[in-house]
Structure 1
C-alpha cells in the first residue's frame, strides 16, 4: 500500500496499471537517482576539468574530456543495439553498464590520489573512455526496458523526479565547496568521485532485480547497413526527431563557451568550481521534475519551449559579449549557465520521452542506437566550434548556438503528439 501511495503521489494518478507498477516505478526511480547523482559528482565539464588542472595535466588532455565522454557514450550504441535486440531480458545491459561505470569511477579516484601530471591524466582519460562505453550500454537499453516496465505517462516523470533528487544532492555538495564547508582539494574531489563509483554499483544491484517481462527477440534487425539506416529512410517522424535533436545539441555544447566569455581560465576558473556547480545543479533542481511532467503531456512542446529558452539565453549572452567583450564576470557566467542548464534539462527530458513514446514498430533499441550514433557524430564535429572560438571569439559561437536552438524549437512543432496516440 505504501509503494502504491508513493507511486500515485509522484505520478499524479489514482490507480496503477497493475499491482507491480509501483514497485517497478520506484526501482527505476532509485536506480536513476543514484546514477544521475553519480553523473553530477563526476561531471567532466567541471569536476574532471578541475581535477586534471590540479594534477598539472596538459591542456590538450583537459580538452579531450568532453569529447571522450559524450561521443564515447553515443557512437557505440548502434553496435550494442544488435545484441540488445536479440535478447529476451535486457535489464542486464543497463545493470552491467552501471557496474562498469562504477569501477571506472573508482579507477579515476585511485589515479587522482596516487599519480600526478601526465601519467594520472592518461589513466583518467582511459577510465573515462571505459565509463563512456559502459554508459552507451545503459543508454541503448534503458528506453526499451522502460517502455516495457513503466506505463505511458510515468516515464518522463520518473526521470524528472530522479533528476531533481540527484540535482539537490549535487547542489548541497556544490554549496559545501562554495562556502568552504568542504575543502576544494584533491582529496575531497577524489572522495566525491569514489562516492559516485559506489552509487553506480548500488544502482546496478537495484536494477538487476527489476521485474522485466520477456521481449520478443529481433533476430533480423541488423542484417546489413541498409537495415540499420531503415528508420532514417522510412520514418518521417524519426527523421524530424533527429533533425530537432541535432539542432538542439547547442544546449549541451554552450556552457564551456559561456565560461570562456566570462574569463580566460587559470586559477580564477578553478576557484569558481563550486559556484558553477551551484548554478548548474540549482537549474536541474528547479526544472527537471517540471520538464519531466510536461514531456509526459507533450514532448514536442517541451522541446519547443526549451529550444526557445536556449535561443533567448544564448542569444542574450552573445549580444552582451559582442558589445562589451564579456558577460560581467563569474556571477553573470553562473547566471547564464543557470538559464542554459534549464533549457538543456528540457531538451533532454523532451527528447528522451518523445523517443520512448514514439511508435518504433517494436524496434526501440534500433531507433535509440541510431539516433545516438548520429548525434554522437555531430558532437565530434562540434569540436570544431573550439577553433571557431579561437578565430572569432566565443560570442560568435554562442550566436551560432542561439540560431541553432531557435530553428530546433521551430522544427520541434512539426513532430507528432506521440503522447496522445
Structure 2
C-alpha cells in the first residue's frame, strides 16, 4: 500500500479538512507520483467543477433559456427541444468521443477544449438574444446548444478518466460531493435572483445577455483551472478508428453482466430527474402560481445540493451502490407520496408550500442518485476500461433520455399524477436492481 505523504503546507491542510481525515492512507489504485500531488489535483478539480456547475445553473435550459425563449417570442416547438438537446446531445456521441480521448496521453486537455467550446457557445447564445427573435432566434440558439452539448460530452468523459488517474478511490465521492455542494450554494443564489423577478417580465434582454456572459466566463475559468492539473501520460490503446471502436465497445452490454445491470439500474433511476418538471406542472394545475414559484423551485434545488451533497459524497466512498439504492427509493417515494396527498387531501393540494417542499426532498434524492452512479462507474473499472464504461453508459442513457422524455406524452391519456406514479414505479425498480449490484467502493 502506498501512503500519501503528509506536509504542513496550506494546500494539504485544506485538503485534509475537506476529506476530514488526518491519516490519508488511500493511494492504492493510482501511481506514486499521482499520490504525491493529490491535494492540488483534488482542489483544482473541485474549482473546475464548481465553475462548470455554476455556469450550468446560470444558463439552465429549464429556467433561464426557457424564459429567454419566452422573451424572444420563440415558437413552443423550439422550447420543447431545449432540455433533450442539452442532455442527450452530450451523451449519445460519447462512444465516439471516448475513442478520441483514448488516443490522447493527457486527457485533461479534452476537458479544457470542451470548456472553451461551451463558453463560446454560450457567448453565441447571448449575442443571438440581442440580435434575433422568433423562429430565427429559436433555430440559431438550438444550433448553438448542440455545439454546447457536444462539448459537454467531451468534458464528461474526460473528467471521469482524469479523476480516476489523479484521485484515489476513497476520495472521489467526496470530490463530487464538495463540488456539487458549492454549486448548490451558487444555484441557491441564482434562485434568489429569479425569485426577485430579475428579467422575469421578458423585457430585460440585456440582463439575460449579461447572465449568459457571466456563465461563459465561468467555463473559461474552469478551463484555466483544469489545465493546471498534474496528470501523468496514459495508455492510448483503442484510439484508432472511432466508429468501429465505438461499436465494438457496445459489446460490453452483452459480455459484462455487472456493467449491463448498472446501465439498466441507472436508466430506471432517471425517475429522479424526470419527476421534477411534473411536480412543477402539478403545482401549476393545483395552485395556479407556478410562475411565481419558479424561483422557489430553483432555490429548493440549490439548497438540496448544498445541504446533501457532502453527505452523499462521503456515503458514496463507503458504498456508492447503497447510495443508488436509498436515493433512488427516496425519489420514487417522493412522487408516490405527493400523488397520494394530492388525490386524498384536496385541501392540501391547493397549498403552494407543498410542492417546493417535495421538490426539495426530490432534489436531495436526485443529488444522491447522481453522486452514487458517478462514483460507482468510476470505481467499478480501472485504466482505459473506465473510459469505456463511462462512454457506453452515457451513450445508452442519452438514447433512453429521449425515449423516457416521451413519458410526458402520457398526459394526453392520463393525469399528471398518473405520469408521476409511472416514474415512481421506475424508481422503485431501479433501487431494487441497484441493490443487486456488486460492491465496488472501498
User: Quick check: TM above 0.5?
Assistant: yes
Alpha carbons 2:99, 2:246 under 8 Å: kept: no
* Aligned with 2:369 (options 333, 347, 353): 347
Match of 2:107 in 1: 90
Alpha carbons 1:261, 1:327 under 8 Å: kept: no
Q: Single out whichever of 300-309 and 221-230 deviates more from structure 2.
A: 221-230
- Within-5 A mapping of 1:151-230: 151-179=168-196, 182=198, 184=200, 185-219=204-238, 223=244, 227-230=248-251
Tell me, in whole angstroms, the C-alpha distance in 1 between the residues paired with 2:180 and 2:334: 22
Alpha carbons 2:74, 2:135 under 8 Å: kept: yes
Alpha carbons 2:102, 2:384 under 8 Å: kept: no
Aligned Cα root-mean-square deviation (Å): 2.1
Tell me, in whole angstroms, the C-alpha distance in 1 between the residues paired with 2:411 and 2:230: 49
Tell me, in whole angstroms, the C-alpha distance in 2 between the residues paired with 1:225 and 1:94: 20
Match of 1:11 in 2: 19
Tell me, in whole angstroms, the C-alpha distance in 1 between the residues paired with 2:235 and 2:424: 43
* Aligned with 1:278 (options 296, 299, 303): 299
Q: Could you list the per-position Cα deviations for residues 65-117 of structure 1 after superposition, in whole angstroms to 9, with x for gaps in the alignment? A: 11111110100101111111122111111111111111111112222223222
Tell me, in whole angstroms, the C-alpha distance in 2 between the residues paired with 1:317 and 1:64: 28
CA shift, 1:225, in A, is 6.3
Structure 1: runs of 5+ lacking an equivalent? none
Alpha carbons 2:178, 2:309 under 8 Å: kept: yes
Tell me, in whole angstroms, the C-alpha distance in 2 between the residues paired with 1:105 and 1:273: 23
Match of 2:6 in 1: none
CA shift, 1:150, in A, is 0.8
Are 2:322 and 1:301 aligned? yes
Q: Single out whichever of 408-417 and 295-304 deviates more from structure 2.
A: 408-417
* Aligned with 1:364 (options 386, 397, 421): 386
CA shift, 1:227, in A, is 2.2
Alpha carbons 1:34, 1:203 under 8 Å: kept: yes
Q: Single out whichever of 239-248 and 52-61 deviates more from structure 2.
A: 52-61
Alpha carbons 2:286, 2:349 under 8 Å: kept: no
TM-score (norm 2): 0.90
Tell me, in whole angstroms, the C-alpha distance in 2 between the residues paired with 1:324 and 1:117: 42
- Within-5 A mapping of 1:67-106: 67-106=84-123
Match of 2:3 in 1: none
TM-score (norm 1): 0.94
Alpha carbons 2:281, 2:290 under 8 Å: kept: no
Structure 2: runs of 5+ lacking an equivalent? 1-8, 28-34
